[in-house]
Structure 1
């Protein structure tokens, strides 16, 4: 499989902190290939830096946990007419969707689910139009955990996650732009213990069956309005924008 992003998890031995380090650039390349393969219109050119930061920040956040979960981030930022969805799956799949949004409804909804357990849902109001700041805010307000992220323009990033008894103050004092070189130097000096590697790639879990189940889950009246008098319709995956064709007869056999 091409376009694999390799992320490493480390333990900062000196300060007892969890460190997640990696670059999202291969996933962005995979996104472009996925869009071309499925004829999905890519995000507007001016939005790519924000999409890159969003995928980098949400990936780092998901990989900072001891147990892998399914994450879904639905968000809009104040003053923007664009909203976003970003998903990170336990198997390493990452996807994003850009959509129209109402500027008056700046919000972030985070859905998390462990295998075999119910989904949890949280809401925060973003304080800045920064995906990095959004992830830090989520961990502070909802998870009540201190984290710090730094993401370079190319999507290279690091997340530092406070552990019980750890010295988080050591990284809070580092100025903007200093976190990446600090931990790269710490790794080179042997002050970080590697805990493992995680591979991420761009893909969506959507399928014909998932889209059909989504339609079948709608009230009958809404399904009728969706199809109208048409024998078939085109419908986009809400997670990645891939377009599916569903025939009315597909519903009748279920």
Structure 2
């Protein structure tokens, strides 16, 4: 694809580039997710998180779809998705901060709520505006059709995802006056060779990395209300407890002594 700005090799992370397809009125975002998938697996290993192969495959596709979606959105958005599947019974959670260029997430495969439909929840905070939530239903066990259903029902425009390589994905989204016949006829092969058949205008490059930002202090903020009300129920006879970050599943150990000191320190 044509390039108007060279990549900054000093930037650490996954580079996503977006292009406007002239004459078709569509935008395309595309990248190879190999590097981000490696970071995800390093995170699982470091925190001793074991994932069922079926859930792992679903999460990787959701992570690719989510990152491309983030790259196509305004810079000042924080985005979170919760994708509830009934078969298999699992929730996928993803969160992204466009200003920081970070994405993270985790798989919930225990105590997942059963219901009549798969549900897709999208939460967005843009700048200082109030948070917005959308919820749509979808069919099947693949997260990518779930995201496409979200675009149709909530965004009121079309989006199509394509796996164009072993770990390479692309997102095409409608813009006003989009050539819908061309858009609906797109195939993975056509998207892979788009620069040969269409005129592409480079829009921007964004760098994303796997990062949650959870730490000991944030975990103590979560535990503080329970500690104030019923410390015995929280710790029992143990001097410490282990918890996992609700956003990424990272393992954190919090001692009773540290939490008591946290509660009395000046704010």
Q: Quick check: 1:201 aligned with 2:237?
A: no
SS of the equivalent of 1:211 reads helix
Structure showing greater radius of gyration is 2
TM-score (norm 2): 0.83
SS of the equivalent of 2:151 reads helix
Instruction: Give the one of 170, 174, 182 matched to 1:170.
Output: 182
Describe the shift of the 1:17–1:10 C-alpha distance in structure 2 as closer, same or farther (beyond 3 A).
Answer: same
Whether the 8 Å CA contact 2:55–2:107 is kept in 1: the answer is no
Match for residue 27 of structure 2? 18
SS of the equivalent of 1:142 reads helix
Deviation, 1:64, is: 1.7
Match for residue 243 of structure 2? 235
Match for residue 81 of structure 1? 89
Deviation, 1:189, is: 5.1
TM-score (norm 1): 0.86
Instruction: Give the one of 160, 167, 170 matched to 1:158.
Output: 170
Q: Quick check: 1:142 aligned with 2:149?
A: no
Deviation, 1:5, is: 2.1
SS of the equivalent of 1:83 reads strand
String of CA shifts for 1:15-61, please: whole Å, max 9, x gaps. 1111111122211111112233x333142233332121111111122
Deviation, 1:190, is: 6.1
Q: Report the Cα distance in structure 2 between the residues aligned to 1:134 and 1:190, rounded to whole angstroms.
A: 28
Alignment RMSD (CA, Å): 2.5
Deviation, 1:227, is: 2.3
Q: Report the Cα distance in structure 2 between the residues aligned to 1:144 and 1:80, rounded to whole angstroms.
A: 28
- Between Structure 1 and Structure 2, how many residues are aligned? 249
Matches within 5 A, 1:1-254: 4-36=13-45, 38-90=46-98, 91-101=100-110, 102=112, 104-105=114-115, 106-152=118-164, 154-174=166-186, 178=187, 180-188=188-196, 191-218=199-226, 220-221=228-229, 224-253=232-261, 254=263
Whether the 8 Å CA contact 1:34–1:203 is kept in 2: the answer is no
Deviation, 1:77, is: 0.9
Whether the 8 Å CA contact 1:212–1:246 is kept in 2: the answer is yes
String of CA shifts for 1:151-181, please: whole Å, max 9, x gaps. 357331111111122223311123xxx1x33
Deviates more, 1:188-197 or 1:230-239: 188-197
Describe the shift of the 1:2–1:241 C-alpha distance in structure 2 as closer, same or farther (beyond 3 A).
Answer: farther
Task: Give unmatched runs, 5+ long, in structure 1.
Answer: none
